[in-house]
C-alpha cells in the first residue's frame, strides 16, 4: 500500500534529524499500542548513522516499547469492554485500524493464552508478530501483569539489542541481511526455543 510506503519513508527521514532519538522513543511507545510501522526502521537508520550509539538507541526502543506495551495493556484492561461485556467502540476502532486484527483473531489469542501466556508475549515481542495485538489482548484477558511486564522486556529487549549489536558489529553491510532475513531468523529461533521447552516438559512428565 502506498500510504504505508509513504509512512515508512517519513519515519526513516527522522534518522537525519536531531530529534531522531526523541521521535524513536515516541514511535516505540505508539507502535506497541496502535502505530503500524515498527520502530526497527528508525532504530536501524539512527544506529547506522552513529554505530557507537547503537546500544543507546536500542535502549530507547526498549523503554518506549515497554511503556507502549503497558499502555496497550491498560487499554485492554479498562477500555476494551463496555458495561454489557461486549466490545466497546474503542475495541471496534482498533479492529478497523490494525491490519489483520479482528474479533476472530482476538478470541483465538484468548485460547492460546490459557496454555502459552508467557511465550505468546515473548514471541510477539521478539518476532514480527504485531506486538500491539498481544499487549491489548493481554489486558483484556487479565493476564498476570508482572509476567506480562517481564515477558515484554525479554522479548522486546532481545529483538532491539540484537539489532543494535548487528549494526554496531558489522555496520552498513549487515543492513541488507537484516532487511531480508532478520524476521525469518527471529521466527525460526523462537520456534526452536519454544520447541525445546516443550520437549523438556514432555520428557519430565
How many structural domains does the chain have? 1
Domain that holds residue 78: 2-204
pLDDT value at position 112? 80
At 143 the three-state DSSP class reads: coil
pLDDT value at position 3? 63
pLDDT value at position 203? 40
> What DSSP state is assigned to residue 53?
G
Mean pLDDT, 10 residues at a time, the chain of 205 residues = 63 80 93 81 86 94 95 91 87 81 83 83 85 88 93 94 90 75 63 52 43
Give the pTM: 0.79
Please state, as a whole number, how many other Cβ atoms lie within 10 Å of the Cβ of residue 147: 13
Query: 99 — phi, psi (to 5°)?
Result: -60, 130
Question: What separation in angstroms does the CA of 168 have from each of 39, 48, 49, 52, 162?
Answer: 17, 8, 11, 6, 10
Amino acid at each position: 500500500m502506498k500510504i504505508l510506503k509513504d509512512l515508512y519513508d517519513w519515519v526513516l527521514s527522522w534518522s537525519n534529524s536531531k530529534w531522531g532519538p526523541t521521535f524513536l522513543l515516541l514511535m516505540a511507545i505508539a507502535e506497541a499500542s496502535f502505530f503500524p510501522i515498527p520502530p526497527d526502521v528508525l532504530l536501524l537508520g539512527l544506529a547506522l548513522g552513529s554505530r557507537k550509539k547503537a546500544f543507546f538507541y536500542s535502549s530507547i526502543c526498549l523503554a518506549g516499547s515497554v511503556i507502549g506495551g503497558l499502555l496497550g495493556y491498560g487499554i485492554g484492561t479498562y477500555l476494551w469492554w463496555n458495561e454489557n461485556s461486549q466490545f466497546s467502540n474503542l475495541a471496534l476502532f482498533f479492529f478497523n485500524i490494525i491490519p489483520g486484527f479482528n474479533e476472530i483473531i482476538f478470541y483465538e489469542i484468548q485460547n492460546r493464552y490459557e496454555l502459552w501466556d508467557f511465550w505468546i508475549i515473548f514471541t510477539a515481542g521478539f518476532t514480527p508478530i504485531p506486538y500491539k495485538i498481544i499487549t491489548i489482548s493481554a489486558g483484556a484477558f487479565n493476564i498476570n501483569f508482572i509476567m506480562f511486564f517481564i515477558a515484554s522486556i525479554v522479548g522486546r529487549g532481545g529483538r532491539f539489542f540484537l539489532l543494535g549489536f548487528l549494526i554496531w558489529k558489522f555496520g552498513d553491510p549487515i543492513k541488507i541481511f537484516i532487511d531480508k532475513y532478520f524476521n525469518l531468523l527471529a521466527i525460526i529461533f523462537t520456534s526452536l526455543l519454544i520447541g525445546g521447552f516443550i520437549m523438556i516438559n514432555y520428557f519430565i512428565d
